[in-house]
Structure formats: structure tokens, C-alpha cells
Amino acid sequence: MARDDVVTEKVRDSPLPKAPNQADQAHRQKKGHPLWSFPHLTLDETARNFPALFQNPPMAQETSLLLLKPDCVAQGLNGEVLKRLEAEGFRVRGIKMIQLTDEILKDHYSHIADKPFFPEVAGFMKSKPVIAVALGGENVISHVRDLLGPTDSKAAPKGTIRGDFGSDKMTNVVHASDSPEAAAIELKRFFKDGEIFSY
């Protein structure tokens, strides 16, 4: 559907003020004018009568997968990290503590499973339990990554979670999904049906 058609539908579905006179009818029926029915309205009048035309589109509601990593758990930072995220308006929709296995790690880190440093990563991720979090909210995936800071904690600015609490690329406090597609896969990896809630 063309943009003008969408606007026209919104206009037709709104409470409509009476046109000033019949002489303008031909002009009001002119095609290609998004407000062809009411060209007599000023911009302010249009905004008052048709507020939907001037509203910003709703932000995307998403759910991201976070793993509070062994260094986060060991330092007792779980509450602080979640507090910062919830302060941004995000909601915990699911949470569990788990012990990662070799099978899960090979699946989760399949993109580096053949690299020489993978055993070190796997050993670190198995060294202590992790906390899996399903976090929901508007544009949560990109916003959370901004709050975390760069993957390398040494390059993360102060005020970000990794900049304040991380040490390097591996001990960087939190893993977070980097796209909606990755989030969908990762959420299924760590949460079963019925373990993620909306409220």
C-alpha cells in the first residue's frame, strides 16, 4: 500500500470535521493529495484532528538472550548488572542459573569452535555456572549492546557495564545477542517452551 493511501485511510477512519462549503468538493477529491478530503485544514488543525498522522512509529518490542558470565557470577555482579538493565525500562522475562556443557558451548560458539583458542574459552565458560536471562523491551538488542560497551573490556568506556566491570575480551561480564535472528536461536538454546513470560 502506498504511503498516501495509508495516510488517506487514517484520515477516513478519524472523526472528521465538516468541510467549509460544497464549492471546494472538486478540489477535495483531487487524487494524489494525502489530505484530499480536507485541504482547508491548517497544519495545526490537521495535527489536532488527526494526531495519528504526527505520532512517531512504535519501537520494536524484542527479547534478547543474555548470559551473565562466570566472571560476573564470581564477583557477585549479577544484581548490579540486572539493576542497570532494568533501570533502562527492560524487563526480565525469564532467568535461570545453569552449568554449561561442552555440547552447548560447541553449539553456542560454533563460529569459533575450530579456532585454537576455543578450549580456553570453553574452559572459562565452564569454570562456574552462568545466568541465562531473557530480557524484553523496546529495541532491547541494540540498546543492551550499547549499555555493555565493546566486546573488549579494555576498549569499553567507563559508565558501560564492561568498562566498569570487565577485564578483557573473554572476561567481559555479559554475552548478549547481536541481532534478532541470533536472539531467536539463542533463546531456544537456553529456554524451553513456557519458561519465557510476558507481563
Q: What is the mean pLDDT of the chain?
A: 85
48 belongs to an annotated ligand binding site: no
63 belongs to an annotated ligand binding site: no
180 to 5, 23, 79, 144, 150: CA distances (angstroms):
30, 53, 25, 13, 19
Position 12 scores a pLDDT of 56
Closest among 152, 154, 133 to 144, alpha carbons compared? 133
pLDDT band at 41 (very low <50, low <70, confident <90, very high): low
pTM (predicted TM-score): 0.71
Position 15 scores a pLDDT of 56
- pLDDT tops 60 at residue 183: yes
What residues are labeled active site? Answer: 175
190 belongs to an annotated ligand binding site: no
Position 161 scores a pLDDT of 99
Position 7 scores a pLDDT of 47
12 belongs to an annotated ligand binding site: no
- CATH 3.30.70.141 in the chain is located at 61-190
CB-count burial class (<10 Å; 0-12, 13-18, 19+) for 111? exposed
Instruction: Note the CATH number of domain 61-190.
Output: 3.30.70.141
Position 187 scores a pLDDT of 99
Q: How far apart are CA 113 and CA 197, in angstroms?
A: 32
